[in-house]
Amino acid sequence: MKIGFYTSTFNDRPLEEVVDFAASAGFDAIEIDVGGHIKTPDRVEAAVTLARSRNLFVSSITYFGNQLDADRDKRRQLRARTADFAEAIGEAGVPIFVIFPGRDDSAGEEANYDDFADFANALIGMTQSSGLTFAIENWPGPKDHFIGTTPRGWQELFRRIEDRRFGLEFDPSHLIRIGVDPYRAMEAVKDRIAILHAKDTAIDNEVLQAVGYHGKGWWQYKLPGQGLLDWPRFLRQARGHGFDGTLSIEHEDAAYGWPGKDLAARKEGERLGLTYLKTVLSGL
């Protein structure tokens, strides 16, 4: 497995500085955030070339946005831009394009799944020549209600999107905080995991007891190895299912400068994550 990180942690820094850091710290790969470091489809090739010039594997490019936005004009604009990015990313030879399904609150459950699946199938069809894989991250969204972010939701999508070029950026941290067993969850989608997000979650049971699941402050995202996930078990399980892709650290640990605070602390967090994951992998 390759180890990389998601550049969103450094969206306040130019991409050249970010890839220089990644290379000097010993990372194998990088996952580039569109909003922070690419902006427009015509800049994809230059961003990818820059990363590769530092001998970094560009594991994926990630584009935030609610693909089911209830505002139809916004939805059409986002999807048109998504298609343009897909074409550029495929031409650049990047293997994975990560997007987010979102949700339309004005539509029913079935309609949301049908609509997003139709769009995903269209993206797959238009990128046959490049073979680009599309993945969704299981981030539940700002209202914790995005479709396709739970085991049942994944199955709803996969029965509508049969092509194996559609899969998951599997992030165990989100599953832990919503009460889903990440090991059982992985078992059910083992053939649909395109990339792994390396992020952990810690839960303060005393705060949880005081405020309940709908309260605040009882969970925190953490660097790999500093939360509840059993990383040796998790990565052994992934490897056992044949996963040999990229572990992309998504650093959102407030103890190490996130979000957008002390730059040295953020870099230290990335280094700690890299060291920990290397140690786990070497022991498998």
pLDDT tens across 252-261, in order? 999 999 999 9
pLDDT of residue 15: 98
User: According to DSSP H, which parts of the chain are helical?
Assistant: 15-25, 34-37, 44-53, 72-91, 109-126, 151-158, 172-178, 182-188, 205-211, 231-240, 263-283
Using the 8-state DSSP alphabet, how is residue 48 labeled?
A: H
Q: Are 167 and 192 in contact (CB under 8 A)?
A: yes
Cis, bond preceding 41 (omega within 30 deg of 0): no
pLDDT of residue 282: 97
The model's pLDDT over 185-218, given as tens digits with 9 standing for 90+, comes to 999 999 999 999 999 999 999 999 999 999 999 9
The model's pLDDT over 147-184, given as tens digits with 9 standing for 90+, comes to 999 999 999 999 999 999 999 999 999 999 999 999 99
Residues contacting residue 216 through CB under 8 Å, at least 6 positions apart: none
Q: For residue 211, give both structure tokens.
A: 């405020």
pLDDT of residue 77: 98
Residues contacting residue 172 through CB under 8 Å, at least 6 positions apart: 182, 186, 197, 199, 200, 201, 229, 234
pLDDT of residue 219: 98
pLDDT of residue 93: 98
Shortest CA distance to 263 belongs to which of 4, 14, 1, 79?
14
Quickly tell me which residue has 């399980």 as its tokens. 237
Give the integer Cα–Cα distance in Å for 131 and 125. 10
The model's pLDDT over 38-87, given as tens digits with 9 standing for 90+, comes to 999 999 999 999 999 999 999 999 999 999 999 999 999 999 999 999 99
Q: Are 228 and 200 in contact (CB under 8 A)?
A: yes
Q: Are 8 and 36 in contact (CB under 8 A)?
A: yes
Q: Are 33 and 11 in contact (CB under 8 A)?
A: yes
Give the integer Cα–Cα distance in Å for 239 and 259. 31
Residues contacting residue 261 through CB under 8 Å, at least 6 positions apart: none
pLDDT of residue 181: 98
Query: Contacts from 16-19 at CB under 8 Å and sequence distance 24+?
Result: 16/50, 19/50, 19/51, 19/54, 19/56
Domain holding 115, by residue range, is 2-283
Quickly tell me which residue has 């990088």 as its tokens. 30
Give the integer Cα–Cα distance in Å for 279 and 9. 23
Q: What CATH code is carried by the domain that includes residue 72?
A: 3.20.20.150
Q: Are 81 and 127 in contact (CB under 8 A)?
A: no
Give the integer Cα–Cα distance in Å for 127 and 48. 18
Number of folded domains that form the chain: 1
Rg value, the chain, Cα: 18
The model's pLDDT over 93-150, given as tens digits with 9 standing for 90+, comes to 999 999 999 999 999 999 999 999 999 999 999 999 999 999 999 999 999 999 999 9
